Amino acid sequence: MKKILLGVGLLLSVSVGTGTAAPINDLGRGESAVGILTDTIYVEHKIGKDLTIGYQNVDRKHGSDMDDFYAQYQLPSSSVRAILGHRDLGSGSTYIGLSVSEGLAPRVDGYASIIGSDDFVEYQVGAKYELTKEVDLNLNYRNFRPDHYRNESRLEVGASYKF
């Protein structure tokens, strides 16, 4: 499975693009996470066995901030999640996507995601390290390709707190 995840990550990093800027968190039912990355803040809450909802704000250096409201549905017996979200209420667009996460080593998980709409494609490949049961450290590469603005690629670092 680790080889599959690595292959998916490499494929996504050289192809069209992947996911939301927030890392892929593994939350228990009723658990929440808040986090900060280089230019992103987010909050998520798992409201059912397989459903997580969230909000994130990305501070774009070459344009307006991006606000996302999203849901992730964990597919049965799988490390794959379906993503449905909306970016920039009022004038934005609805997007769909997929994410995958898998253990790479003790306390280290890798993840990759891709989302897209008729206005953009975005991808992300990263890893998180479980510092404590409640705190993860995150490192990821994110590429955002909007149809009508500058493409953005960046390496991000951050932390998540689960409660």
**Helix or strand (DSSP H, E) at 4:** helix 2-14
Distance CA 126, CA 105 (A): 14
Q: For residue 92, what pLDDT is reported?
A: 82
Would you tell me how many other CB atoms lie within 10 Å of the CB of residue 121?
20
Please provide the DSSP assignment of 118-129 as one string: SSEEEEEEEEEE
Q: Where does residue 12 rank: exposed (0-12), middle (13-18), buried (19+ CB within 10 A)?
A: buried
Range of the domain at 107: 2-162
Location of structure tokens 């549905």: 73
Q: What is the pLDDT of residues 100-151, one digit of tens each?
A: 999 999 999 999 999 999 989 999 999 999 999 999 999 999 999 988 888 8
| Total of domains in the chain | 1
Distance CA 68, CA 81 (A): 17
The CATH number of the domain holding residue 90 is: 2.40.128
Q: What is the pLDDT of residues 4-34, one digit of tens each?
A: 444 444 333 333 333 455 778 889 999 999 9
More confident: 23 or 55: 55
Distance CA 106, CA 155 (A): 23
> At a CB cut-off of 8 Å and minimum separation 6, what does 39 contact?
21, 58, 59, 60, 61, 154, 156
| pTM, to two decimals | 0.81
